[in-house]
Amino acid sequence: MYVAVKGGTTAIENSWRLLAAQRRGDAALPALSVAQIRSQMSLAVDRVMSEGSLYDPELAALAIKQASGDLIEAVFLLRAYRTTLPRFGYSLPLDTAQMQITRRVSATFKDVPGGQVLGATYDYTQRLLDFALLAEDHVEGATTATTDTADSVVAPATDKPLASHMPRVNDLMAREGLIETPRPTATDEPRDLTREPLMFPADRTLRLQALARGDEGWLLGLGYSTQRGYANAHPFAGEIRRGQVAVEIMPDELGFAIDIGDIDVTECQMINQFAGNRDVPPQFTQGYGLAFGGAERKSMAMALVDRALRARELGEVAVAPAQDEEFVLSHSDNLESSGFVQHLKLPHYVDFQSELELVRKLRAAHARDADSGAPTAPSDNTSLQKAA
């Protein structure tokens, strides 16, 4: 065993060198810089920041480069670095109603104050491969695409600047009492999921933290399941908005809030039907999603799952997977999921040898019973065949 450990060290070091060579790729091609990843692969950077629980585009781009584009590995790297950072304090709740909008759409009202702002989106593209982008790779120093490509780097001119304040659609409905307006009380102090383990039952603030850094694919699948009938859901996208929002803190020594910078976020508010009960009249309810950067799919899926997890709170029967708090949240973290799956690559020699010996003994006993003519217990496969 000692010899194997010594030999393993050399093998691991060689593996690191092979990994570095694989990351670099063809040395005849220019190396992909962190600045390029940050600027030209911004949606991947945004996803790594959200699931890594750290808003730093440069470090997220570095993690993507180091991980050769494996976003889950990049999330792992970013979270590991995050644990080394000191905690100076907590920010105040973001006021997304004051967001500097770059994109804002509503599927519930055609005309909303401030208007629909399409912004940059793939929603209206034809999903056809743009071979003009291949030509750019062969034009040294090219800075713009051809005039007929949808990816022109020239920003379109706008007729007028966007309003600095666009009220949220749900806030407008709340004025008429048509939609719930959940508000935290003064005694509510959200627990910090990055510092405390997830415990059940989890309140909504803790659930939203887990969903915000949960795997996008997992949330997308669960959100899709609620639309296919595996939950009591009939959602409408009340509003999806993206833009810059101010981050404020309130130092104890000052006693007032100060703005420490802006971050780019995407927010989604889903609207769902609710029949009401003896204490609450019929009204719409909400599902909420928010993620760093351009993360519409993630924030929409998060809002769908958030609403599904509120089933018991609203007196609904919880029967679907997306309504099961423990099932959803315990499997939402891609690092935990990846670690548990990939640990199967590690040596399990002792465990397997014990099971191998057990199977050999069972086979020997089975053979003795067969030779003596004694009846043997049917295997699971035999039982299945008989049942069929």
User: Residue 147 above 60 pLDDT?
Assistant: no
| pLDDT > 80? residue 344 | yes
d(CA 305, CA 285): 13
Tokens of 27: 């040395």
In a domain, residue 104? The reply is: yes
Residue 148: band (very low, low, confident or very high) from pLDDT cuts 50, 70, 90: very low
Instruction: Mark whether 372 and 282 lie in a shared domain.
Output: no
pLDDT at 224: 93
Specify the pairing of strand 285-292 against strand 236-249.
Answer: unpaired
User: Could you report the per-residue pLDDT of 77-128, keeping only the tens digit for each?
Assistant: 999 999 999 888 888 889 888 889 999 999 888 888 888 888 888 888 888 8
Residues 22 and 135 in one domain: no
Q: State yes or no: pLDDT of 56 exceeds 90.
A: yes
Do 164 and 231 share a domain, yes or no? yes
Q: What is the residue-wise DSSP string for 200-266? A: SS--HHHHHHHHHTS-HHHHHHHHHHHHTTSSS---EEEEEEEEEEEEEE--TTT-S-EEEEEEEEE
**Residues 234, 137 within the same domain:** yes
Residue 36 has pLDDT above 80, yes or no: yes
The residue from 82, 109, 127 where one domain ends is 82
CA atoms of 355 and 351, how far apart (whole Å):
6
Do 39 and 185 belong together in one domain?
no
List beta partners, residue 265: 243, 292
Do residues 207 and 255 share a domain? yes
Residue 35: in which H helix or E strand, if any? helix 34-40
Q: Are 105 and 23 found together in one domain?
A: no
The answer to whether position 90 is within a domain reads no
Amino acid letter, residue 90: Y
Structural domain range at position 14: 2-82
For the chain, list the strands marked E by DSSP: 100-105, 236-249, 258-272, 285-292
User: Is 344 among the domain residues?
Assistant: no
User: What are the residues whose beta carbons fall under 8 Å from the beta carbon of 346, sequence distance 6 or more?
Assistant: none
Neighbours of 207 (CB within 10 A): 23
Highest mean pLDDT of the ranges 131-135, 154-158, 338-342: 338-342
Contacts of 120 (CB under 8 A, 6+ apart): 102, 103, 294
